[in-house]
Amino acid sequence: MSKNLADLIAVENARVNIRTWIKSFSYTKRLLVGESGDPWESASKFLTYFSQAQGLLKPDVAVIEVGELFDAWLLRNQSIKAELTGKRKRSYPLRKLLEQSQPRELLAEIIEAVLAQLRGQLPLVLSMPSPGYWLCRANRAAGRDDAAPDGDSIEDSAIYLADLARSVSSAAVGGLLLEESFPDIDLGSSDMELYRPLINVAKHYRWPLALRMGAGKAVDNSALQEIDVLIGAGKFPHAGSAQGIDVTNVVFSGEQIPELCPTQFYFLDIPKESKPEHVLEILTKLKSA
């Protein structure tokens, strides 16, 4: 039986069963397939990369970076960019990108292969840019300006992400992670209510929903209270049954590692150019802190 992220999240008066959640794609890609390599060309090629990365870092949560899959597919299929600019509606490029059948089929194949490799030992979480951030990235890919999207466009994007998540609902996915932490894009405060279509899909399939917060704050509303796991480096809002303390800057600058509360775990985003021996030293410290 495949694990669910809910199995590792604390219930009342219990400790979370996650010690370290690692974001490592840019680092492990450089290390294992090279700067110009593409682990997303096929499910078998990705599984080879994934297995090596898991063996190298031994994380507590297995993650597939869905946004990276679509980025890589778009690089291999430059002609599709013309379709992304077909209409002026700001959410149109993301809609056209996410409805492409080839990357959807590849994602389903990769999920199936990874789940077979994991054998239920770890939960498999699908990580993707949040609706607002993926909207900006899709517009950049289409050659459009960086104007901040409005609420309607973000809500439309949440619908497209929800449809993508629904397309793999038959697989034993263990949770979803939405990433708000992209330093090159500033959308201000995040309103989870605009993500309602995606929240509803996660609830329907019993997928715990995690949010990695960026520099901006999250609007304190009922939708925020439905997020199961919050990840960040700053002050947390009063939501989430588990919290990931982003210690990336702390550990790579040599500062003291903070202690964890029972409902907390460490989150580490490994910089691409990190040296392997330094990374392993840091992971050892986090596991024994």
pLDDT at 1 over 60: no
**pLDDT tens-digit profile of 42-94?**
999 999 999 999 999 999 999 999 999 999 999 999 999 888 987 778 999 99
Q: How far apart (Å, rounded) are the C-alpha atoms in residues 121 and 186? A: 37
- 193 SS3 class: helix
**pLDDT tens-digit profile of 132-190?**
999 999 998 888 876 678 889 999 999 999 999 999 999 999 999 999 876 667 677 78
Q: Angle at Cα 38 formed by Cα 120 and Cα 100, nearest 5°? A: 80
pTM: 0.94
pLDDT at 119 over 90: yes
Calculate what percentage of the chain has a pLDDT beyond 90.
Answer: 73
Looking at domain 5-288, which of 3.30.43.10, 3.30.465.10, 3.20.20.210, 3.40.50.10190 is its CATH number?
3.20.20.210
Query: Taking the domains of the chain in order of start, what are their residue ranges?
Result: 5-288
Q: How far apart (Å, rounded) are the C-alpha atoms in residues 61 and 64? A: 10
